[in-house]
Amino acid sequence: MDLTKYLSGKTSLNDYVHRINQNGASFQVHYWGVMPKHYDNQLHKHSFFKVCYVVEGEGTYIDNHCTYKLQENTLFLSRPEVVHQIKSEKGLSLLYVAFQLVESESNEIWIKIMEKAKQCTEIMLYDEFDLETALLWKSLLIQATKPKNEFFEEMLSTITYTLITSILQDFVPVLNKSNHKNIPEKSYI
């Protein structure tokens, strides 16, 4: 995926997608990033979640004194108040988004989900070539590069909500458990 063609999409997302209110949740989106060549950054932490997707390249991610390998098709989660750092000698092509739940505008269920997300221990997903989250992200960037039309902001907002919930489902184990009973399929002979 050539990230340079999505730079205008990043600009549109930063211009139009700041607050998402859907299904009892209110998310503040701090910023979006499309970076064709990311090298190193300093050890730092945020007060919000940041999720990155490695489109191409190799490097390492340091999170709370643990080092993880970064490679193509890696999705990783930076949790609030956890010190972290990205390193790459040759550069990484990255997509990223930073967000947080606005608790005062969200219901208790969402507050509990986000507390679970802060505590999750699995922060890396590797080699997920058909990872739904990556496909949603690409769809969002494609939509964001289109000329503004009647439903432009609504489309970006809806896809963003779906992207954030997909990210949470990827990383929060309790969200991956099915609450549906197994119902046998009908057979038509």
Q: Report whether pLDDT(104) > 50.
A: yes
The DSSP 8-state label assigned to residue 80 in this structure reads T
The DSSP 8-state label assigned to residue 183 in this structure reads -
**How many CB atoms are closer than 10 A to CB 100?**
17
What is the longest distance spanned by two Cα atoms in the chain? 64
Q: What is the pLDDT of residues 3-59, one digit of tens each?
A: 888 899 999 999 999 999 999 999 999 999 999 999 999 999 999 999 999 999 999
Distance (Å, whole) CA 92 – CA 189: 54
Per the confidence metrics, is the pTM higher than 0.85? yes
Domains and CATH numbers, the chain: 3-173 (2.60.120.10)
Q: Give Cα 154 distance to the centre of its chain.
A: 19
Residue 145 vs residues 97, 117, 176: alpha-carbon distances, Å: 17, 30, 32
**How many CB atoms are closer than 10 A to CB 110?**
19
Q: String of b and e for 113-148 (b: at least 16 CB within 10 Å)?
A: bbeebeebeebebeeeeebebbebbbebbebbbeee
* Per-residue confidence band for 126, with pLDDT thresholds at 50, 70 and 90: confident
